[in-house]
Chain A
């Protein structure tokens, strides 16, 4: 059942590479098939069952302790669905005259398979292998189809992420070795027996690894470069799905494997989240390149997830899940709109662009979608961004009141930088440098429109996201009592 999610894109990649005929249509058919299979999975998924479902377990290399074990639960299901959706969006929004289409589309499908593998893997080593495997296609996609400084950006991305992978591998090996296990099967009980300082060591390595990928300050500098150089569909995948590998890893492995150490480290992590949130937001204000602005806003918004993870309550985990999906949809929509602007106007510099909302010679629909996107990102109600932010702050406030309030400043700053973007690039008169734009076709609008539709839909019925993950999260965080809904909070007694 689950292997098909991996096999279909892999076969698809092979077909795209060697089957004669229309590469693009094969690729999008395969992507649609993956979406179809995901939908089937959604219908078959048992909502009442908190544990792993559709488990497939085969021994692969016995001497290494590596087994091919797949499973899906509430934490991974929404992200798998997001991955399937965004892969199709990326293929659909790719330039029809892209160079070397066979390689390009097969790499995207390969990327899809690797990412799905990361979300499904129930064996630590298998997780690591997929996590590293995902690097290769993405590196090539940036390095071959990127902008002018693509080699620099791709290499930087490669080095950072390889380091992240090495740290994760070290932590997994250390866990198996110290825990005295002879296999790498995901086992939450393993770390319980370890002394706290060993747990810290392993957790630290994992955190660094995922912190690089997420990215958190000060390991974020690869992200803006990679985004700026990557082409639009790759940015969509990078921001929409790839960053979620790290947040998923934090929820699944950092909290799941080392709950005791996590509990102790949580206040420091909340502090780290504040820095990341505010730093990303302030960086975004200083940017002139639209893509960089969106990239830094990702740094800022991923910080919320760390805050929620640090709070470590069922509610905060549900909030983190919503924020992952919400950020995936919103940043993807924003990158798509920015991509259209770049394609038509030839620049993303907001000091040059002006008046793009112009109804006849500008791009009013893309502009409107952009406005909706930035408003969703800034947390305007009626869209999924608001639900995510509300739940995150609501869940973290009882535990970290001051960090929560500081992170809320980040939401305010989101409005500041995005408003600067809208005001400069979309309001005003068309600037003399950028005029006579080619008209935007409906084809180019659809992907962003679909995502915006989803953003609004989930803004109205957020339960459609939370319902998948709630049982798993409740079961996962059983021991610490449900803290989120107490009537009076002892921690918030702000005596003068």
Chain B
């Protein structure tokens, strides 16, 4: 039984893929009679199976040395490529979180996407998504992880582009694919380089290689930079953060997974490769700089957004920025705590926001108001999500932040300042959204908004409760530090930063006559609203450069390359046209030509052999 469980561990991601495959008859509309719902049920069933299988496995691997599964994928000309998986308590727990959140998101989607004609396609994509994400959790090889990242890029493209008939969606899907792909290609270069130098792509072999390698510092740095490029794209970090904001055009249940789990997948790979990154201090500094810029920048940008999904999605980038800092500063436990806390809280926030959007058919926060009374479950979910995000004792975020105190206090005290700043600003932002959406007077679009029906409410309430009891579960496993280890100063400063954010938000947005958005300087507001003009920047630089270059090349192809070829042809035609006048019929001219020709040849012979 034990062996069976371990050896079948790799099945768990396959359930998701299998679910996706099983939906094909409905997606291709071979089966029309039943409607698309059976496809959804099949996928949910597969996820349930994955979850159950995962929990059995978790009992097996808990408190046990990690198991390794190795499959030979390809052996060619001396190169051996293995697919390896590690079943440890951390990786299986991560996989469980993925399947669990995916299950909740799918149940939520059943209600959210009810009226969509392409329900089957949605579930197929989500199944695919889930399979790839849960495989990332147990992957123990850079090759596998890279491949899965690419699959996630593909499925993100298709999920964001789900409603492909809308122009904004089309653009969002394209940007999501291309920005991530840019990161992935650089990561690919790193994978290729590591594979050539270390000879293996299994993480364990790579760690061993790190100990002994003597390559130059520049090479180390380049490899490190290549390795972080993929996670930068996947975790929506500066400068590849653009896509996450645009991806909010996609269906909400997918946004739940994207903002909670997919970004976590990218960060998870970053954590997996971190021993390689430590070969070069420059790479670590880069991580810290990128993390800091993203954390502060994205939080500020989120405050200026009016689209309810975007207000929250930017904070995803910000929190992942903190994770980047922690990996750069070699304090991994903060990253793991924060990723876990963030994943659950963000999923909850997105569910709540999804309910608001579905009920009101509106995403503009300026047109909301007064939903608190009519949608109690949604409101509570939002509040709990906010509390868990923003470091309120004793919920998830708090434990993550206090761990940060421990890690950064000595070497990087300023990081604690960043954490507190991000926490404060995030609290302010979430309070602002709360005030605008749930408090105040009702507006035309929110006047008769009812609470969502049970298919949406059930997963949301469940996740609310789960968020509340997560700290209990974690302390049950002995993962939380005892209260004695936490100084009053830590509790005080974290709470104070949250409190200040809350107070500022409440002051500005809890009064009935609040203005939706008001910055003292209009230019600053525009700057933040437009995300520091990143999109324009890209359009005017790289996009412009490539399109111009391809135009120039197309011109060269048409007129220079083709032109040369054609001129050979033209020269041939003109040459023969000219020569044909030689056939005049005059014997004299023939005789003359022959004489001249023989004379020239004779001279040459004389010249050469004399």
With A314-B78, A380-B150, A487-B199 as known contacts, state yes or no: A429 contacts B165, CB within 8 Å.
yes
Question: Which chain A positions have C-beta within 8 A of B78?
Answer: 314-315, 482, 484-485
Which residue of chain A lies nearest to B146 when distances are taken between CB atoms in the complex?
Answer: A381
Report the Cα distance A318→B195, complex, angstroms. 17
A365 with B28: in contact, given A415-B181, A416-B546, A484-B78 (CB under 8 Å)?
Answer: yes
| Interface residue SS majority, chain A | helix
- Contacting residues, chain B, for A408 (C-beta < 8 A): 185, 188-189, 192
Which residues of the partner chain B approach A279 to less than 8 Å between Cβ atoms?
553, 557
State whether A494 touches B219 (Cβ < 8 A).
Answer: yes
Stretch at the interface among B166-174, B302-310, B313-321, B433-441: B166-174
* Contact (Cβ within 8 A) B164 A494: no
Q: Is B216 an interface residue (CB 8 A)?
A: yes
Chain B neighbourhood of A359, CB < 8 A:
29, 117-118
The answer on a CB contact under 8 Å between B77 and A463 is no
Q: Please tell me if A63 contacts chain B, counting CB pairs below 8 Å.
A: no
CB–CB A283/B151 < 8 A: no
- A282, A285, A482: which has the most chain B beta carbons within 10 Å? A282
Task: Tell me whether A493 and B199 are in contact in the complex, defined as CB-CB below 8 angstroms, given that A286-B550, A394-B79, A397-B193 are known contacts.
Answer: no
Cβ of B154 under 8 Å from chain A: yes
Query: Size range of the interface on B?
Result: 35 or more
Interface assignment of B69: CB less than 8 Å from any CB of chain A: no
- For the complex, give the distance between the alpha carbons of A359 and B117 in Å: 10
Chain A residues closer than 8 Å to B428, beta-carbon distance:
none
Instruction: Confirm or deny: A386 has a beta carbon within 8 angstroms of a beta carbon on chain B.
Output: yes
- Scoring B75, B185, B214, B216 by chain A CB atoms within 10 A of each residue's CB, the highest score goes to B185
Contacts of A317 in B (CB 8 A): 77
Among A198-206, A233-241, A466-474, the stretch in contact with B: A466-474
Is the CB–CB distance between A416 and B178 below 8 Å? yes
Asked, given contacts A386-B147, A394-B195, A423-B173, whether A283 binds B554 with beta carbons under 8 Å apart, the answer is yes
Is A462 an interface position by the 8 A CB rule? yes
Looking at the assembled complex, report how far the CB atom of B595 sits from the nearest CB atom of chain A, in whole angstroms.
Answer: 33
The answer to whether B196 and A493 touch across the interface, beta carbons within 8 angstroms, is no
Indicate whether A492 reaches chain B with its CB closer than 8 angstroms. yes
**Chain A, residue nearest B181 (CB):** A415
Report the minimal beta-carbon distance from B532 to chain A, rounded to whole angstroms. 24
Q: Determine the chain A residues whose CB is within 8 A of the CB of B216 once the complex forms.
A: 493-496
Contact B76 A463 (CB under 8 A): yes
Cβ-defined contact, B189 with A428, below 8 A: no
Residue of B28, B77, B174, B178 with highest tally of chain A CB at under 10 A: B77
Flag whether B479 is at the interface (Cβ < 8 A). no
- Which residues of the partner chain A approach B547 to less than 8 Å between Cβ atoms? 285
Within 8 A of A (CB), among B537-554: 546-547, 549-551, 553-554
Whether A411 and B185, one on each chain, are in contact in the complex, defined by CB atoms closer than 8 angstroms, is: yes
Distance in angstroms from B167 CB to nearest chain A CB is 7
Determine the distance from Cα of A488 to Cα of B153 in the docked complex, in whole angstroms.
32
Interface of chain A residues 429 through 488 with chain B (CB within 8 A): 429, 462-463, 466, 470, 473-474, 482, 484-488
Q: A318-B76, A488-B215 are in contact. Are A409 and B185 (CB under 8 A)?
A: yes
Asked whether A210 is an interface residue with its Cβ less than 8 Å from the other chain, the reply is: no
B residues 136-164 with Cβ under 8 Å of A? Answer: 146-148, 150-151, 153-154, 158, 161, 164
CB proximity of B376 to chain A, nearest CB, Å: 38
Cross-chain contact B218 with A495 (CB below 8 angstroms): yes
Number of interface residues of A (CB under 8 A): 72
Q: Mark A358-390, 1 if CB is under 8 A from B, else 0.
A: 110000110010010001001111100011001
User: Are B77 and A318 in touch, CB under 8 angstroms?
Assistant: yes
Please, which residues of chain B bring their CB within 8 A of the CB of A365?
Answer: 28
- Cβ contact of A286, chosen from B74, B182, B551, cutoff 8 A: B551
How far does the Cβ of A149 sit from chain B's closest Cβ, in whole Å? 14
In contact, A496 and B218 (Cβ under 8 angstroms):
yes
CB-CB under 8 A from B170, the residues of chain A are: 423, 427-428
Interface residues of B in 174-202 (CB under 8 A from A): 174, 177-178, 181-182, 185, 188-189, 192-193, 195-199
Q: Closest B residue to A367 by CB, please name it.
A: B164
Chain B 205-238 residues near chain A, CB threshold 8 A: 213-219, 222
Write the chain B residue with the least CB distance to A389: B188
A3 within 8 Å of B by Cβ?
Answer: no
Q: Is A119 an interface residue (CB 8 A)?
A: no
Q: Chain A, 117-137, contact with B by CB distance < 8 Å: what is the 0/1 string?
A: 000000000000000000000
Closest chain-B Cβ to A307's Cβ sits at a distance in Å of 13
Say yes or no for A277: interface residue by CB 8 A criterion. Answer: no
Q: Is B565 an interface residue when CB atoms closer than 8 A count as contact? A: yes
Provide the residues of chain B in CB contact with A381, threshold 8 Å: 146-148, 150-151
- The yes or no answer to B562 lying at the interface (CB within 8 A) is yes
Q: Taking CB as reference atom, which chain A residue is nearest B543?
A: A416
Q: Which one, A358, A379, A415, contacts B177 given CB within 8 A?
A: A415
Which residues of chain B have C-beta atoms less than 8 A from A283's C-beta? 550, 553-554, 557
Bound Cα distance from A398 to B195, whole angstroms: 10
User: Quick check: is B561 within 8 A (CB to CB) of the other chain?
Assistant: yes
Are B192 and A397 neighbours in the complex by a CB distance under 8 Å?
yes
**Contact residues in A for B550 (Cβ distance below 8 Å):** 282-283, 285-286
> Nearest chain B CB to A327's CB is how many angstroms away?
18
Contact residue among A282, A404, A463 (Cβ-Cβ distance under 8 Å from B75): A463
Are A282 and B562 neighbours in the complex by a CB distance under 8 Å? no
Given the interface pairs A364-B28, A412-B181, the reply to whether A221 lies near B192 with Cβ below 8 Å is no
Determine whether A405 belongs to the interface, using a CB cutoff of 8 Å to chain B. yes
- Given contacts A285-B546, A419-B177, whether A485 and B79 have CB atoms under 8 Å apart is yes
A240 to chain B, nearest CB (A): 23
Complex: how many Å from CA A318 to CA B73? 15
Nearest residue, chain A, Cβ from B164: A427
Contacts of B171 in A (CB 8 A): 423
9 pairs of residues in contact across A and B, judged by CB atoms under 8 Å: A217-B561, A285-B546, A286-B554, A355-B165, A364-B29, A397-B196, A420-B174, A474-B77, A487-B197
Which residues of B come within 8 Å of A, CB atoms? Answer: 28-29, 73-79, 117-118, 146-148, 150-151, 153-154, 158, 161, 164-165, 167, 169-171, 173-174, 177-178, 181-182, 185, 188-189, 192-193, 195-199, 213-219, 222, 546-547, 549-551, 553-554, 557, 561-562, 564-565
Given contacts A386-B147, A413-B546, 7 further A-B contacts (CB under 8 A): A282-B546, A397-B196, A401-B193, A411-B188, A419-B174, A423-B173, A466-B76
